[in-house]
Amino acid sequence: MEVGKGKECLDLPSWLVGERREEEEKRGGRHSSFLSVDWETWEGGGREFVKGLLERPVKRRKARDVEGLML
């Protein structure tokens, strides 16, 4: 089942099941996230926090091994 409107709609991921899938099907639309931080937070330690996230080593894991990712 396609969710959303227009040519940009995508199928929901196969792992999304049950009540959560039903809610997403009702809601429709795109599955995107917008993250932001205000200037004071950025200058007050946010820059270092983001830099630390970007510099950490990459760990290869299976999706099922990541807590909270799979139902």
| Placement of tokens 């799979």 in the chain | 70
Q: What is the pLDDT of residue 32?
A: 60
pLDDT digits (tens, 9 = 90+) for 20-66: 788 877 776 655 656 788 999 999 999 999 999 899 888 888 888 87
| CA 55 vs CA 46, 52, 58: distances in Å | 14, 5, 9
Boundaries of every domain in the chain: 2-65
